[in-house]
Chains A and B, each alone.
Chain A
């Protein structure tokens, strides 16, 4: 005979405001099989959990229903408490009377009635619950890090220094990401390359890190602790083992006018190239799209000059697979394309550039050797206008959110420009300055007060090029309530931060969620900021939301510690919510095998004692099954049931609602 305890939580005011909790407890107390029914202000608190534990022991409960928040929030908490009191944790169920009831209803009477229904449903279910035991699966203590920018580098180093193996996959030929392109970094103005390149070298040299550059993840199978990842290594046409990185090849390459990705198209590169002199690995690749040998079959100069015979025009893409236990996604961001703004020249004005282009003009390793010279005619601009929020906070044509880092880097740009061009004028148009962060507001004040950047609060309505080459910038000074017109030589747009072009594709491969803007979603916006809703997949850096370097590094270290935590045990417990085939009734129609999205079901031969196959049936791999229930729905002979969600349980839940 079932002995069920029901515990109704007020969640402070969250539930209690809309649902009459004592009335729900009283109604639940009258349900058949319920021997204890109480309500309490905070059931998840220590005294609340103690109430449950005491009742389990004193009333010899065989099942517990906690009516409170979503099971996603506190089911593990309450199941742990039940286990501590000696009850199998899977004999505890939650009725969600917060998200599914009090938060979405206003009428107290109706909400209370619905809460009673939700409790009754779970009471009927828990009476039919069976004891289940967690499944233990081995953990492969290797992390896959996707993306070799600062976030990926930091995460890889932290995991590797924690003694675990790392596979770091980077799509471009070198580590470094966007940070390698920056001149100096806010708020301390230390040289970006100087602080980054030692870390890049450390990654390449680390015995625990396998570095796969010029590679992309193409498939992800498996589950937490046991992912199987397929990685495409793009053809480099240069054997990295024999290449010494001497550079003879790219000095001789006749195709020289390819816009350099690293220099934001302000400089050019050859067809065989390393993206920048400090690249890691410092081994060139051939850009197959532009190479004369690969496109037209003639040239072969690099092969002739290579002293080690490392060039191989026959190279092809290769696929490799790696087994990993955790995945850290650090794919970063790109800039929004401002050609959507016709009023800013639709991307056609040479001297209206984006933030990365200005970084390259400031950088000592940039196309102008660190002198600020404008793209159209190479002149040093005497007036530079910086426009913040270009595409950001514009739900109509750009993006709705604030890109977070632009206020700071614009202040830095204005400051560095004034350091380089002492008599130059730096004008910044802003909506409002958002400089929250350690030393950040002080930095912006310094740009204004010490370095003389002119800050104008207002938007720019139009930029056009006058016949004499001046860029006419027209806008509003909303503090002075006056229209302003500035004759500028260069305009720098702080374009919005947006996710990488193929971010959604990767999310679907990994089975993680992304928001309406394409940024990856964390499991909880406050309490689980680096985990995704998919176990074993963690986030680092700007792929989750716009972030500066300190935030990206902090999140990368957090993601690494999550991975290391996962690797600290050789085995992993996972919920035993899996499908089970009744092998005596299975007719081996294979419908479930075809339907399973996780390829967790396979043929199984039942043999007699002599080893002869008598029958073939379907069997579920406990390690792979995710408990989705698809097979249960398609089974024609009703031979599959889902532990924890059996037909008997579900039908009883439905029946009690009538």
Chain B
């Protein structure tokens, strides 16, 4: 059995519960053991790097060091921000021995650079390779989906490694394996409003509205994301957007892991589909 480390971060214990549930469920189907890093801490997200550079590196560094000490060589960081911070830290450490020394001093942990951080996209293809492909017995035949990457799953050239920031296709293989039809659309890498959900809701309303509009015009039945922040903006704020006189939208926002779970024949409740603001249970009915 393959073991992959797991770094849920704050979202997956909060607003991104469905992501956590669906990841654990599909990992189980694929026969992959997820081992949560013991005593993990905050990745720093968007707050730390605007305060203190060392803090912004030290927080992810400690998580990497813990993972290494606990014998984990690969760690899944499902949240796009966690992924970017953790993977970005591995890149920065590779570039600078001085930074590595500083971090050793600050955290009193010796990290040797052996941990590989996986994004949700990496994880999806990994599960297919691990045997999930043969277990997708209930494909979502013909479900038209718009794969949505947002900012951090496609950007940071050295971080995402090999994806084209302007035309990412990382989710395509997994979605096609799940029986989905990918619609060509224009807003796959546009900003959803990100962390402005609370502080500048109007911006999120505008930006997310544009994304939803384009996906609907492209004929999508659902939008698929891998980021809990995007999900909360596009799913939770859909009502706000409609109330602002835009739309009206009624577009289910799915996680990649939920799509894979449905195609594997799992109960939608086990994947958290019943927890969405915009009804996502209707998608489950498409599953053969």
Q: Is the CB of B218 within 8 A of A467?
A: yes
Q: Is the CB of A342 within 8 A of B166?
A: yes
Q: How far is the CB of B222 from chain A (nearest CB, A)?
A: 18
Q: Once bound together, how far apart are the Cα atoms of A466 and B213, in whole Å?
A: 10
Cβ-defined partner of A342 (8 Å) among B167, B187, B214, B218:
B167
Q: B267 near A: Cβ within 8 Å?
A: no
In the complex, besides A342-B166, A466-B214, 5 extra interface pairs with C-beta distance below 8 angstroms are: A341-B166, A342-B164, A343-B166, A464-B187, A466-B186
> B97 — which chain A residues lie within 8 A by C-beta?
none
Cβ-defined partner of B167 (8 Å) among A346, A465, A472:
A346
Q: B161 near A: Cβ within 8 Å?
A: no
Cβ-defined partner of A464 (8 Å) among B164, B165, B186:
B186
- Closest Cβ neighbor of A346 among chain B residues: B167
Q: How far is the CB of A491 from chain B (nearest CB, A)?
A: 14
Type the 1/0 row for B158-173, where 1 means its CB is closer than 8 Å to any CB of A. Answer: 0000001111000000
Q: B217 near A: Cβ within 8 Å?
A: yes
> B214 — which chain A residues lie within 8 A by C-beta?
464, 466
Q: How far is the CB of B177 from chain A (nearest CB, A)?
A: 24
Q: Once bound together, how far apart are the Cα atoms of A464 and B164, in whole Å?
A: 17
Q: Which of B111-131 contact A (CB under 8 A)?
A: none
Type the 1/0 row for A462-475, where 1 means its CB is closer than 8 Å to any CB of B. Answer: 10111100001000
How would you classify the secondary structure of chain B's contact residues: helix, strand, loop or mixed?
loop
Q: Once bound together, how far apart are the Cα atoms of A341 and B218, in whole Å?
A: 21
Q: Which 6 A-B pairs have the closest CB atoms?
A: A342-B166, A464-B186, A342-B167, A467-B217, A343-B166, A342-B164
Type the 1/0 row for A443-468, where 1 means its CB is closer than 8 Å to any CB of B. Answer: 00000000000000000001011110
Q: How far is the CB of A465 from chain B (nearest CB, A)?
A: 7
Total residues of chain B contacting the partner, CB 8 A: 9
Q: How far is the CB of B189 from chain A (nearest CB, A)?
A: 9
Q: How far is the CB of B191 from chain A (nearest CB, A)?
A: 12
A-B contact pairs, 17 of them (CB 8 A): A341-B166, A342-B164, A342-B165, A342-B166, A343-B166, A346-B166, A462-B186, A464-B186, A464-B187, A464-B214, A465-B186, A466-B186, A466-B214, A466-B217, A467-B217, A467-B218, A472-B186
> B217 — which chain A residues lie within 8 A by C-beta?
466-467
- Closest Cβ neighbor of B190 among chain A residues: A462
Chain B residues engaging chain A, CB cutoff 8 angstroms:
164-167, 186-187, 214, 217-218
> B164 — which chain A residues lie within 8 A by C-beta?
342
Q: How far is the CB of B55 from chain A (nearest CB, A)?
A: 31
Q: Once bound together, how far apart are the Cα atoms of A319 and B274, in whole Å?
A: 75
> A467 — which chain B residues lie within 8 A by C-beta?
217-218
Q: Which of A326-352 contact B (CB under 8 A)?
A: 341-343, 346
Q: Once bound together, how far apart are the Cα atoms of A462 and B165, in whole Å?
A: 12
- Among B167, B187, B214, the one with the most A-chain Cβ atoms within 10 Å of its Cβ is B167
Q: How far is the CB of A338 from chain B (nearest CB, A)?
A: 12
- Among B165, B186, B217, B218, the one with the most A-chain Cβ atoms within 10 Å of its Cβ is B186
Q: Once bound together, how far apart are the Cα atoms of A464 and B214, in whole Å?
A: 10
Q: How far is the CB of A27 from chain B (nearest CB, A)?
A: 47
Q: Once bound together, how far apart are the Cα atoms of A472 and B190, in whole Å?
A: 14
Q: Which of A236-282 contact B (CB under 8 A)?
A: none
Q: Once bound together, how far apart are the Cα atoms of A343 and B186, in whole Å?
A: 9
Q: Once bound together, how far apart are the Cα atoms of A264 and B166, in whole Å?
A: 26
> B166 — which chain A residues lie within 8 A by C-beta?
341-343, 346
Type the 1/0 row for A19-62, where 1 means its CB is closer than 8 Å to any CB of B. Answer: 00000000000000000000000000000000000000000000
Q: Once bound together, how far apart are the Cα atoms of A464 and B190, in whole Å?
A: 12
Q: Once bound together, how far apart are the Cα atoms of A472 and B167, in whole Å?
A: 17
> A346 — which chain B residues lie within 8 A by C-beta?
166-167
Type the 1/0 row for A339-372, where 1 means its CB is closer than 8 Å to any CB of B. Answer: 0011100100000000000000000000000000
> B187 — which chain A residues lie within 8 A by C-beta?
464
- Among B164, B166, B214, B217, the one with the most A-chain Cβ atoms within 10 Å of its Cβ is B166
> B167 — which chain A residues lie within 8 A by C-beta?
342, 346
> A466 — which chain B residues lie within 8 A by C-beta?
186, 214, 217
> A465 — which chain B residues lie within 8 A by C-beta?
186
Q: Once bound together, how far apart are the Cα atoms of A339 and B10, in whole Å?
A: 40
Q: Which of A119-176 contact B (CB under 8 A)?
A: none
Q: Once bound together, how far apart are the Cα atoms of A341 and B165, in whole Å?
A: 10
Q: Once bound together, how far apart are the Cα atoms of A462 and B214, in whole Å?
A: 14
Q: How far is the CB of A235 from chain B (nearest CB, A)?
A: 41
Q: How far is the CB of B65 from chain A (nearest CB, A)?
A: 34
Q: Once bound together, how far apart are the Cα atoms of A472 and B165, in whole Å?
A: 19
Q: Once bound together, how far apart are the Cα atoms of A343 and B165, in whole Å?
A: 9
> B165 — which chain A residues lie within 8 A by C-beta?
342
Q: Once bound together, how far apart are the Cα atoms of A466 and B210, in whole Å?
A: 11
Q: Once bound together, how far apart are the Cα atoms of A343 and B166, in whole Å?
A: 5
Q: Which of A184-228 contact B (CB under 8 A)?
A: none
Q: Once bound together, how far apart are the Cα atoms of A342 and B189, in whole Å?
A: 11
Q: Once bound together, how far apart are the Cα atoms of A343 and B168, in whole Å?
A: 11
Q: Once bound together, how far apart are the Cα atoms of A254 and B166, in whole Å?
A: 42
Q: Once bound together, how far apart are the Cα atoms of A462 and B186, in whole Å?
A: 9
> B186 — which chain A residues lie within 8 A by C-beta?
462, 464-466, 472
Q: How far is the CB of A475 from chain B (nearest CB, A)?
A: 14
Q: Once bound together, how far apart are the Cα atoms of A467 and B210, in whole Å?
A: 13
Type the 1/0 row for A587-610, where 1 means its CB is closer than 8 Å to any CB of B. Answer: 000000000000000000000000
Q: How far is the CB of A467 from chain B (nearest CB, A)?
A: 4
Q: Once bound together, how far apart are the Cα atoms of A571 and B187, in whole Å?
A: 69
Q: Once bound together, how far apart are the Cα atoms of A472 and B185, in whole Å?
A: 13
Q: How far is the CB of B158 from chain A (nearest CB, A)?
A: 13
Q: How far is the CB of A173 from chain B (nearest CB, A)?
A: 37
> A472 — which chain B residues lie within 8 A by C-beta?
186
> A464 — which chain B residues lie within 8 A by C-beta?
186-187, 214
Q: Once bound together, how far apart are the Cα atoms of A371 and B283, in whole Å?
A: 49
Q: How far is the CB of A228 from chain B (nearest CB, A)?
A: 48
- Closest Cβ neighbor of A348 among chain B residues: B184
Q: How far is the CB of A631 from chain B (nearest CB, A)?
A: 49
Q: How far is the CB of A463 from chain B (nearest CB, A)?
A: 9
Q: How far is the CB of A473 from chain B (nearest CB, A)?
A: 12
Q: Once bound together, how far apart are the Cα atoms of A346 and B214, in whole Å?
A: 18
Q: How far is the CB of A161 from chain B (nearest CB, A)?
A: 52
Q: How far is the CB of A1 from chain B (nearest CB, A)?
A: 64
Q: Once bound together, how far apart are the Cα atoms of A341 and B187, in whole Å?
A: 15
Q: Once bound together, how far apart are the Cα atoms of A465 and B167, in whole Å?
A: 15
- Among A462, A466, A467, the one with the most B-chain Cβ atoms within 10 Å of its Cβ is A467
> A343 — which chain B residues lie within 8 A by C-beta?
166
Q: How far is the CB of A341 from chain B (nearest CB, A)?
A: 7
Q: How far is the CB of A309 from chain B (nearest CB, A)?
A: 52
Q: Once bound together, how far apart are the Cα atoms of A472 and B217, in whole Å?
A: 14
Q: Once bound together, how far apart are the Cα atoms of A643 and B248, in whole Å?
A: 89
- Closest Cβ neighbor of A341 among chain B residues: B166
Q: Which of A458-505 contact B (CB under 8 A)?
A: 462, 464-467, 472
- Closest Cβ neighbor of B184 among chain A residues: A348
> A462 — which chain B residues lie within 8 A by C-beta?
186
Q: How far is the CB of A376 from chain B (nearest CB, A)?
A: 15
Q: Once bound together, how far apart are the Cα atoms of A343 and B164, in whole Å?
A: 10
Q: Once bound together, how far apart are the Cα atoms of A465 and B186, in whole Å?
A: 7
Q: Once bound together, how far apart are the Cα atoms of A343 and B167, in whole Å?
A: 7
> B218 — which chain A residues lie within 8 A by C-beta?
467
Q: Once bound together, how far apart are the Cα atoms of A472 and B187, in whole Å?
A: 12
Q: Which of A362-398 contact B (CB under 8 A)?
A: none
Q: Once bound together, how far apart are the Cα atoms of A465 and B185, in whole Å?
A: 9
Q: Once bound together, how far apart are the Cα atoms of A459 and B161, in whole Å?
A: 25
Q: Once bound together, how far apart are the Cα atoms of A466 and B187, in whole Å?
A: 11
- Closest Cβ neighbor of A463 among chain B residues: B186
- Closest Cβ neighbor of A474 among chain B residues: B190
Q: How far is the CB of A304 from chain B (nearest CB, A)?
A: 46
Q: Once bound together, how far apart are the Cα atoms of A343 and B214, in whole Å?
A: 16
Q: Once bound together, how far apart are the Cα atoms of A343 and B187, in whole Å?
A: 11
- Closest Cβ neighbor of B157 among chain A residues: A396
